Amino acid sequence: MNTAKKISYLLIVNLLFSCSQEKKNTIITVRNTLDFQRNFETVEIKKTSLKVDDLSSVGIKNIKTNKLQVTQLVDNDGDGSMDEVLFQPTINAHSEANFEVVSIKKAEQPQAENLCYSRFVPERTDDYTWENDRVAFRVFGPNAQYRAENGLPQPTLSSGVDAWLKKVKHPIINNWYKKEIETDGTYHEDTGEGLDNFHVGVSRGVGGIAVKVDSTYFLSKNFKKWRTITIGPIRTSFYLEYESWDANGKTIKESKIVNLDLGNNLSKFSTKIEGVNTIAAGLTLHEKDGKVTADVQNGWVSYWQPHGNSELGSAIVADKNTFKTFEKYDIETKDLSNAYAHLNVTNTKVVYYAGFGWKVRGKFNSRKEWENYLNTFSKKINNPFEVVIK
């Protein structure tokens, strides 16, 4: 073999070898099997699935549009290392989209406002409050319980979920607490961003749970422990834990992780509960002047009611294997009348969604529009995106 041929041969061999050694990027395929376009649904990709050491330099690029997606990194276990990356693709009906996992610099990552926010609020006894671009909620902690049980100011004894009726996209939690605590104003009056005029008391509010024994509902008290997991442009998430409580001789142990994602009116409650096989998630009936409706096949119960000078819808939604039945529980005792969704507990776990839609906010102008939203939401959780990683 002459020298020229040898050189050519070596070049070809080296080229083939280098091609075979070239690292191929990971491709994420997201498939929508439903007959309508889907957005504001969060895809969760575990770090272990991507086989990378550090998620901070990971970008997710839509192959068709060549655009980087807004992402959020989450440290679920609080060990200081990010465990998963979130993004919200838009996928047309009966379609799929492909996304390439690429290495990027921090400056290249698309920026978005942290509209999904939550925090512990020690300055107002000890609320935990959360919000996104559509809705806001809060629950009550051990100091508020202590005050209620000892006749002190600012008491709250309730494991119900309060609804804060915001009508703006931007975050309002810090604004409202500052107005309530540091000024002569109050978040009980609307000065442009909405208001808190939703009474909870000992009711279930929007999604608090109970355990039914015979014909009586038993309730937990305030949360005792909390941990913020994440805030960001796509999701806020946090952990709550409760003191063990009694349900007619049954000891109930309860903790939960609550997620609220961008563009959603419903929070996701992933509850761990020991001591029972079913729970009831409730919606307060307030003045009992509204309409309770339900669709067992689609897994939801709703309460649409007059509220102030407007109207308000609240709901519980769960997948078809979790949602068992519903009940309108109407008694004379103040705040104990609720519309309940009865939910199956599987291996000490139960997942459901709870939230509200305020007519003033503009998205839901009637009970029919609210129920259409619930039906669509039900289809999504019963037919989640199919995600394939190659």
CATH number of the domain within which 216 lies: 2.70.98
**Which residues, including other chains, have CB under 8 Å from residue 328's CB and lie 6 or more apart?**
285, 292, 339, 340
Tell me the residue type at 37: Q
Are 86 and 226 contained in the same domain?
no
Are 152 and 127 contained in the same domain?
yes
Are 65 and 144 contained in the same domain?
no
Produce one character per residue of 200-219: b if its CB has 16 or more CB atoms within 10 Å, e if not.
bebbbbbbbbbbbeeeebbb
- Boundary-marking domain end, from 60, 78, 109: 109
Are 61 and 156 contained in the same domain?
no
Residue 389, class by beta-carbon neighbours within 10 Å (0-12 exposed, 13-18 middle, 19+ buried)? Answer: middle
3-state secondary structure of 143: helix
For residues 345 and 318, is the Cβ–Cβ distance under 8 A? no
User: What is d(CA 310, CA 248) in angstroms, rounded to the nearest whole number?
Assistant: 40
Are 144 and 36 contained in the same domain?
no
User: What is d(CA 344, CA 356) in angstroms, rounded to the nearest whole number?
Assistant: 22
Give a yes or no: residue 179 inside a domain: yes
Tell me the residue type at 356: F
Q: What is the CATH number of the domain that holds 49?
A: 2.60.40.1180
Bridge partners (DSSP) of residue 58 are: 103
The pair phi, psi for residue 364, each rounded to 5°, is: -125, 110
> Which domain range does residue 39 map to?
25-109
Global pTM reads 0.94
Are 126 and 223 contained in the same domain?
yes
User: What is d(CA 99, CA 136) in angstroms, rounded to the nearest whole number?
Assistant: 32
Q: What pLDDT tens digit does each residue of the chain (390 aa) get?
A: 554 444 444 444 444 444 443 457 899 999 999 999 999 999 999 999 998 999 999 999 999 999 999 999 999 999 999 999 999 999 999 999 999 999 999 899 999 999 999 999 999 999 999 999 999 999 999 999 999 999 999 999 999 999 999 999 999 999 999 999 999 999 999 999 999 999 999 999 999 999 999 999 999 999 999 999 999 999 999 999 999 999 999 999 999 999 999 999 999 999 999 999 999 999 999 999 999 999 999 999 999 999 999 999 999 999 999 999 999 999 999 999 999 999 999 999 999 999 999 999 999 999 999 999 999 999 999 999 999 999
Which residue from 102, 26, 52 is spatially nearest to 387, judged by alpha carbons? Answer: 26
Residue 138: both structure tokens together: 């809060």
If one counts the domains in the chain, the total is 2
3-state secondary structure of 369: helix
